[in-house]
Amino acid sequence: MAGNSFGTAFRFTTWGESHGPAIGAVVDGVPPRLPLTEADIQHFLDKRKPGQSRFTTQRREPDIVKIQSGVFEGLTTGTPISLVIENQDQRSKDYGDIAAKFRPGHADFTYQAKYGIRDYRGGGRSSARETASRVAAGAVARKVLGSGVTIRGALVQIGPHRIDRSRWDWDQIDANPFFCPDAGTASQWESYLDEVRKSGSSIGAVIEVVASGVPAGWGDPLYDKLDSDLARAMMTINAVKGVEIGDGFAAAELSGEDNADEMRADPAGGVRFLSNHAGGILGGISTGQDIVVRFAVKPTSSILSTRQTVDMNGNETEIVTKGRHDPCVGIRAVPVGEAMIACVLADHLMRHRAQCGG
């Protein structure tokens, strides 16, 4: 059933396959009179763009976005914004192997099981290429949120190697090819990932995204809670297997005393919390603190080792996935996670305004 849209008040719909002529998104419900240019969107696409270091896929895609509607004389008009990105590097090649066999860990088998057909070229619709459309939609969402809300993501773990949180420095994010906030860890990752890459293997990762400046009051309990929408959003991203808000799974080991974020009066008015175990959300509604979301990305299954599988006829066989792939898809998931969180927040800003004004 129709499932390629995300959001209610701020809603986007994506389309497109990895090796089709183009991919794109239609963003609907955007408030009018927001300044929006292709350059605003391109800025974020460039962060996600493949081929920027040896640690991401070598597919060459300029990922140039075009606005086809919904903007007039540099301002949004309130009508749908159609964004399109042409596919350019659909390297012509023989797809025979992946056409005939299911790659373990990929969606090949399930798409075939569901639809009885699949566009196997480059993974078709299930390719992470689609996430460029999300990043484009996320750039529009940031315009809706305005400059008061800051959304920043970081890679906090690759394989077994975690950052040292005491060295967290947002300024480091753009200083290494990993969106890593800890310079020391970044250089360790570099040699570690080189090893992974050279061996033709791949590895998982954990991303953390922080949204600052979200006022208290966003989120629609009980089934459109801010955190449930965030969890859903993260889990729609390719290869994501886990999501945490605030302390996440570590909260299971906390006592009620330790977990309760105590409150004090803020001299500047309002409330000040003494801690943020909740990750900025209580009862599905934002508290006004930083919103903290973490998600785990599995290693891509496109590796150079031979794996056992079956073919379209149900016969047992083996497969090696050659081609241009990310040794750690988690890296490029950082701007995608940011974009999805921006979309959830823009949606809830507008949903909140619908019911509660302001």
Over the window 19 to 48, marking each residue x when it contacts a copy of itself by CB under 8 A and - when it does not, the resulting string is: -xxxxx-x-xxxxxx---------------
Show contacts with a copy of itself in window 174-203 (CB under 8 A).
196, 201-203
Q: In what order do the strands lie in the sheet with 11-16?
A: 5-6, 11-16, 22-28, 81-86, 65-67
Task: Please check whether residue 286 is in contact with residue 212, taking contact to mean a CB–CB distance below 8 angstroms.
Answer: no
Least separation in angstroms between residue 43's CB and a copy of itself is: 22
CB atoms within 10 A of CB 168: 14
Pull the structure tokens for residue 128: 């992470």
**Using rule CB under 8 A, residue 324 touches a copy of itself:** no
In terms of C-beta density within 10 A (0-12 exposed, 13-18 middle, 19 or more buried), how is residue 351 classed?
A: buried
Least separation in angstroms between residue 104's CB and a copy of itself is: 4
**Using rule CB under 8 A, residue 14 touches a copy of itself:** yes
Report the run of H or E that residue 176 belongs to, with start and end: none
- The per-residue DSSP string of 310-321 comes to EBTTS-EEEE--
Choice from 225, 291, 333, 337 touching a copy of itself (CB under 8 A): 225
Choice from 246, 334, 336, 342 touching a copy of itself (CB under 8 A): 246
Pull the structure tokens for residue 289: 């603190």
Nearer to a copy of itself, 16 or 335 (CB): 16
Show contacts with a copy of itself in window 67-86 (CB under 8 A).
68-70, 72, 75, 77-82
Report the run of H or E that residue 2 belongs to, with start and end: none
Q: Is 54 annotated as a binding residue?
A: yes
Choice from 96, 148, 160, 268 touching a copy of itself (CB under 8 A): 160
Location of structure tokens 């408030």: 31
- Go through the chain and tell me how many residues it has: 358
User: Which range of residues in 54-62, 167-175, 177-185, 257-265 is near a copy of itself by CB under 8 A?
Assistant: 257-265
**Using rule CB under 8 A, residue 244 touches a copy of itself:** yes
Nearer to a copy of itself, 171 or 244 (CB): 244
Over the window 277 to 316, marking each residue x when it contacts a copy of itself by CB under 8 A and - when it does not, the resulting string is: xxx-xxxxxxxx-------xxxxxxxx-x-xxxx---xxx
**Using rule CB under 8 A, residue 356 touches a copy of itself:** yes
Least separation in angstroms between residue 21's CB and a copy of itself is: 6
Show contacts with a copy of itself in window 97-156 (CB under 8 A).
102, 104-107, 109-111, 113-119, 124-126, 130
- Which stretches does DSSP call E strand in 73-194? 75-76, 81-86, 150-158, 161-162
Task: Please check whether residue 209 is in contact with residue 337, taking contact to mean a CB–CB distance below 8 angstroms.
Answer: yes
Nearer to a copy of itself, 159 or 177 (CB): 159
CB atoms within 10 A of CB 124: 20
Nearer to a copy of itself, 151 or 328 (CB): 328
Give the Cα separation of 132 and 302 in Å (integer): 20
Q: Is 33 annotated as a binding residue?
A: no
Choice from 90, 212, 236, 276 touching a copy of itself (CB under 8 A): 236
Give the Cα separation of 280 and 268 in Å (integer): 19
- Integer angstrom CA distances of residue 20 from 17, 84, 127: 5, 12, 11
CB atoms within 10 A of CB 121: 16
Site size toward a copy of itself, by CB under 8 A: 153
Which amino acids are annotated as binding site, given as ranges?
48, 54, 125-127, 238-239, 283, 298-302, 324
In the annotated binding site for FMN, the residues are 125-127, 238-239, 283, 298-302, 324
